[in-house]
Amino acid sequence: MIPRSRTVSLLALGALGAICLSGCTDEKRPAQELKPLALKEQVSNIVKSADGYAVTWAGVLSNANPWHFGEHVVATIVGRDAKGTEVVRMDQPLDAVPPGGSLAFTGQATAVEKPEKVTIQYRPARWRPAARIPSAFQDFPITRAQTLRQKDGTYLITGYVGNPYQMTASSLVVNALLRDKAGKLLGGGSTFVDDVKAGSPPRFILTVSGLPVGSKVAKTDITARTWGSTARPYEELALGGAVPIHTVKPTTQPFAVDRSTQVVSEHKQ
């Protein structure tokens, strides 16, 4: 027989354990900590123009979060003169940054006074969980690309952009980033293509100007993405499914005898 004092102690311990378990189950799990976007590269160029000074820029934002889109990102470009006075400012809404991917962007503005320094900053993104696994968000293939230097020092970039999805992409943004032999970013340009259907890639043409005198372009990185500050256009394409890779029937004759069946029969014997 258990003494009464021990019985009371056991009951008290049981009640204490129940309270502890109840508190543990009600405790909220800590929210997943998301890494901020990172501005991996940026470059700006300033050239004299008829209206004052043409300020061009290019940059690359990276997203280290593999399951979230970065939405409603706005880049702020500020140019200051030698005294530190602001002579040009522009807020540029950017497209959604894909999970675990990067976003190239370019832009241009006009300043009355010549800026001596141009900086690019951005507002923090709003995070949205991806509706599909990361591998469902495929790249838009670029084919037959050419980079041609013109007599006036500008560069003409042409090529074709494909659509790996079954649904038609209503609007895509094509970005071209120009680099030197060492891979340094020199500048870039952008254009739009509309109504991109699978199997029927449209041609794009864009011009990049304002590069520093004496620049030697050795490589052009061309990417395409859905247009818009949210992930919705990209997710709609991914949810519609990708185009099957193998769409041609086999041309070889089938085996006269099913070899797997023959091997199993011989093994049983």
Per-residue pLDDT tens digits for 120-149: 999 999 999 999 999 999 999 999 999 999
Rounded to whole angstroms, how far apart are CA atoms 220 and 59?
14
Structure tokens belonging to residue 254: 């089938």
* Amino acid 21: pLDDT: 47
Classify residue 24 by its DSSP letter.
H
Rounded to whole angstroms, how far apart are CA atoms 46 and 109?
10
Per-residue pLDDT tens digits for 10-47: 445 555 555 444 445 444 545 568 999 999 999 999 99
In a domain, 199, yes or no: yes
Angle at alpha carbon of residue 177, lines to 68 and 145, rounded to 5°: 105
The total number of structural domains that make up the chain: 1
* Amino acid 267: pLDDT: 54
Instruction: Determine what percent of the chain is predicted with pLDDT higher than 90.
Output: 75
* Amino acid 255: pLDDT: 72
Cβ atoms of 188 and 160 within 8 Å: the answer is no
- pLDDT range class, residue 8, cuts 50, 70, 90: very low
In a domain, 156, yes or no: yes
In a domain, 15, yes or no: no
In a domain, 200, yes or no: yes
Per-residue pLDDT tens digits for 43-81: 999 999 998 999 999 999 999 999 999 999 999 999 999
* Amino acid 53: pLDDT: 95
In a domain, 268, yes or no: no
Structure tokens belonging to residue 204: 């794009």
In a domain, 183, yes or no: yes
Distance of CA 202 to the CA centre of its chain: 21
Which residue range is the domain that position 53 belongs to? 38-130+139-240
In a domain, 85, yes or no: yes
Here the CATH number for the domain that contains residue 231 is 2.60.40.3230
Of the candidate ranges 123-127, 129-133, 237-241, 260-264, the one whose mean pLDDT is the lowest: 260-264
* Amino acid 33: pLDDT: 86
Per-residue pLDDT tens digits for 195-234: 999 999 999 999 999 998 889 999 999 999 999 999 999 9
Residue 162, burial from CB neighbour count under 10 angstroms (0-12, 13-18, 19+)? buried
Cβ atoms of 166 and 241 within 8 Å: the answer is yes
In a domain, 17, yes or no: no
